[in-house]
Structure 1
C-alpha cells in the first residue's frame, strides 16, 4: 500500500512539472510571437501570410531537433540550416526578401535575449 501511494505521488508530481514546463514553453512562444510582430511591424495582410509559414517552419525545426537529439552536433546544425534556407524562400514570398532576412535576425536576437535573461536569473539565485 505504501508503494502504491509513493508511486501515485511520484506520477502526480511528474505531471505537475510537465504541465509547468509546457506552460513556460507556451508563454515563451507567446512572447516570441509578440516580439516578432513588433520587430517586423507586420500589417494584418502580412501577418495572414507570415504566421502559417512560421508555424510550418517551427514544426520542422522541432522535428529536426527531436530527431537529432543526442546525435552529431554538426549534422544537427546542418539540418537546421537547411530548414532555414528552405523557409527563407517562403518567408520572402510572405514578406519581402529584406524582411525575411530581418525575421531571421529578429529570431536570433530574441533567443539571445532569452538566454541572457536566463543567465542573469540564475546568477541572481546564486547570490
Structure 2
C-alpha cells in the first residue's frame, strides 16, 4: 500500500434515493424508504474509493467489518451525502468513520474496516 493515505483523509459521494434502494426482502417491499442494507453498501463504497488510489497493483482491499446506525428514514428522491474519514491505519487495516446526511440532518453513521492484502492471498482463500 502506498503511503498517501493518512489519518484525517476524507472522501465523499452523493447519491439520490431510488425505489431500488427501498427496504425489501426477497422482492417484497417492507418500507418505501432507503434501506439499511443499501446504507451499508454505500458506506462500503465510499470507504473503498478511499483506498483505490493507494493500492499497489498486487494488492486488493476486502471488507472486514461494518458498524452502522441507521438514524432516520430517507424517501425516494432524497439526496444523501456520505462522507468517509480515515480514523485508523493499523498495519494493513484501514478504518473509516462514515457519516450519512441529507442537508443538515444526520441519517446514519458508522465505521468501515477494510483489510489490504495481496491478490494472490485472496485467490487462495476463494479457490
Normalising by structure 2, we get a TM-score of 0.31
Normalising by structure 1, we get a TM-score of 0.31
Rg larger in structure:
1
**Greater per-residue helix proportion:** 1
